[in-house]
Amino acid sequence: MELLVASAIGVLTAGGIYLVLRLRTFPVILGMSLLTYAVNVFLFGSGRLTIGAPPILTDDVTNYTDPLPQALVLTAIVISFGMTAVVVMIGLGAFLGSDDDHVDDQPEAAKAEEEQ
Amino acid sequence: MTHWIAAPIILPALLAPFIVLAARYHIGIQRVFSVAGILSLIAIAAGLAWQVSDGSVQYYRMGDWAAPFGIVLVADRLSTMMVLLTSVLALFVLLYAIGSNWDNRGRHFHALFQFQLMGILGAFLTGDLFNLFVFFEVLLIASYGLMIHAGGNARLRAGVQYVLFNLIGSTLFLFALGAIYAETGTLNMADLAARVQLITPEATVGIRVAAVLLLLVFAIKAALVPLHFWLPSSYAEAPAPVAALFAIMTKVGAYAIIRVYTMIFPPDLAVTSGLHDVWLLPAALISLAIGMLGVLAARRLDRLVAFSVIGSMGMVMIAISLFTPAGIAAALYYIIHSTLAGAVLFLISDLVRTGRGNVDLTAQPPMLGAALTAAMFFAGAIAMAGLPPLSGFLGKLLVLEAAYENPLMVWIWVIVLSSSLISILGFARAGSVTFWKAQSLTRDDNEDPATGDMPSALSYVAIGGLLALLAAHTVFAGQVHGYTTKMAAQLFAPDAYMSTVLETPGKLSKPKEDH
């Protein structure tokens, strides 16, 4: 299970980084979502992986799973979901406004050419 | 335990939704509530700063849960000073936004402004790393809204870059937090500081990775070269009052570095030796050089100011990366100075934009209100370039003096002094092109004369207030530096902080009594 979770995090991160380095808004946003999935699984794994154990600390339970990472993941999911929505809206606004979805700044020469 | 520590977070958190829900269509009511809110924030911040000025550490447990499990807010000399600085800056920025009518050019300026303050103040006050992440996100999501306030294509495009860069920063932050939690099992700063000490030299891989990731995140916030690329276009395209408020946001990164790398990973800690204590100083030196070269090379006044902010952050980071009490004291003195000077310059670039319709550094006919704007630009440029008599000069002297013992002392002195010269040239060029050459040109009668407006009196009052603060920062330099020295001493002796947070009983420490 450790291998499965670790390689899932690795594949998601690698794909995310590749897409984030693209030039256009849409792949970059997809890459950001992949990275946030990777980090969510990573946070989940940071409390050690256990199966079938309750996440509650009571007197009669000796084998329990750490509940804190689950709370952290919940917060991280909510925040990254909201942030992705914001960046989609701003990216859409920028694309509709200037009819161009490049993430980088255009060089001065290209900009001047466009204006003519 | 005093409840007042939560007030700087609760007050804007309640005020912002009130403004959205109750005063949505009434800009007058929004302005009144916003200004009143910030005035009371200043009063609260001053009260807190006075309470902890004797060196005590005040704390507040959210929901009364004991420290490593619940979230604590901690007020010591450093955090209360930053809270006070933020509230005072926010007052003048808000006055400028009202005076220049920026707040009425789009919707929800005041609500977003309050949320932004909530995030910044929370980041300064929190004693928990995950809570720091949450407040970073609060301040970021408000800043996304403020950054694209009043719209426009150039602004939206810069906004996309800004948001994406910061999203990557947030993801890195989460990776760092996960690694720290996996290694130590805690995210409370005081608890973490105690547990990192216990890590044996054989098992340092995870915590070293986490320390570097965390430093990267804070360096993105502080716009340290080579992680500064988001800053120039987003600060230049943002509305001027927003950019002026953002002058404190880079300092949030500097604050986080000071806090985490003096308490949790102190410079003499063997586990993380050879990381930030080696690499931060060269990066800071390059930041300073690149920032000041950018000042010389900029073609627009707002970009010039943005690069001067990068340069001044380089200066702050040089002082921090010495990791000595004298260095941190100098950094804290310079942080106050560079926040005020950066805000002044962003607001002045907006005066130029108001006066003549654009901020290109080309000779154009005289703008409206040129004399007063030019005088203010002169004062702001002197402050930012670090010439006597204003506080930039004193701050620079303090940094140079603190660097005297460092092995890289020659490099620090050479780069600081030569970059000062370059920035003086850059500001002199900008000022003479914008204000001086204009006198030799006369407005062509065929040209449309209505390119600019006279800036309002309140705009000048706001900038004048910030300049007066800079002057006060210079006049009372002895007292301020004395206080920042005490602050640095407190940072390098974190035992009081740790014992206050960890050893005071909370709800969980006596579980039997609850049943």
Kindly state whether B161 is in contact with chain A, defined as any CB-CB distance less than 8 angstroms: yes
Kindly state whether A79 is in contact with chain B, defined as any CB-CB distance less than 8 angstroms: yes
Nearest to A43 among B156, B160, B178 (CB): B178
Closest C-alpha to A16, from A115, A70, A84, A116? A84
pTM above threshold 0.95? no
- Chain A residues near residue B141 by CB distance under 8 angstroms: 82-83, 86
Q: What is the pLDDT of residues B375-389, one digit of tens each?
A: 999 999 999 998 888
Q: What is the pLDDT of residues A48-84, one digit of tens each?
A: 888 888 777 677 777 788 888 888 999 999 998 999 9
Angle made by CA atoms B104, B163, B237, in degrees to the nearest 5 = 50
CA A20: distance to chain centroid?
A: 10
How confident is residue B515, by pLDDT bands cut at 50, 70 and 90?
A: very low
Kindly state whether B150 is in contact with chain A, defined as any CB-CB distance less than 8 angstroms: no
Would you say residue B119 has pLDDT above 50? yes
Q: What is the pLDDT of residues B340-386, one digit of tens each?
A: 999 999 999 998 888 887 788 888 877 777 888 889 999 999 999 98
- Report which residue type is found at B408: L
- In eight-state DSSP terms, residue B403 is G
Burial (CB count <10 Å: 0-12, 13-18, 19+), residue B451: middle
- Whole-angstrom distance, CA of residue A81 vs CA of residue A36: 9
User: What is the chain B residue with the closest CA to A39?
Assistant: B175
Q: Which pLDDT value is given to residue A62?
A: 75
Kindly state whether A8 is in contact with chain B, defined as any CB-CB distance less than 8 angstroms: no
Query: Which residue matches tokens 């290694």?
Result: B183
Contact A87 B175 (CB under 8 A): no
Contacts for A78 with CB less than 8 Å, ≥ 6 apart: none
Report chain B's C-alpha Rg in angstroms.
23
Q: What is the pLDDT of residues B455-499, one digit of tens each?
A: 888 999 999 999 999 999 999 999 999 999 999 999 998 888 888
Q: What is the pLDDT of residues B182-228, one digit of tens each?
A: 988 889 999 999 898 888 888 788 899 999 999 999 999 999 988 88
Q: Determine which of B160-164, B437-441, B445-449 has the lowest per-residue pLDDT on average.
A: B445-449
Nearest to A42 among B130, B163, B178 (CB): B178
Percent of chain B with pLDDT over 70: 96
Are B438 and B323 a contacting pair, CB within 8 Å?
Answer: no
Contact B178 A80 (CB under 8 A): no
Angle made by CA atoms B5, B38, B456, in degrees to the nearest 5 = 160
Averaged pLDDT, B14-31: 91
What does chain B come to in residues?
515
Q: Which pLDDT value is given to residue B94?
A: 95
| Residue B405 falls in which region: left (phi positive, over 0), alpha (psi -120 to 50) or beta | alpha
Would you say residue B514 has pLDDT above 50? no
- What is chain B's mean pLDDT, rounded? 89
- Whole-angstrom distance, CA of residue A1 vs CA of residue A5: 6
Q: Which pLDDT value is given to residue B137?
A: 93
Contact B182 A47 (CB under 8 A): yes
Contact B163 A86 (CB under 8 A): yes
- Whole-angstrom distance, CA of residue B124 vs CA of residue B139: 12
How confident is residue A116, by pLDDT bands cut at 50, 70 and 90?
A: low
Averaged pLDDT, B418-443: 86
How confident is residue B451, by pLDDT bands cut at 50, 70 and 90?
A: low
What ipTM score was computed for the predicted complex, to two decimals?
0.91
Contact A83 B182 (CB under 8 A): no
- Whole-angstrom distance, CA of residue B399 vs CA of residue B406: 11
Q: Which pLDDT value is given to residue B447?
A: 54
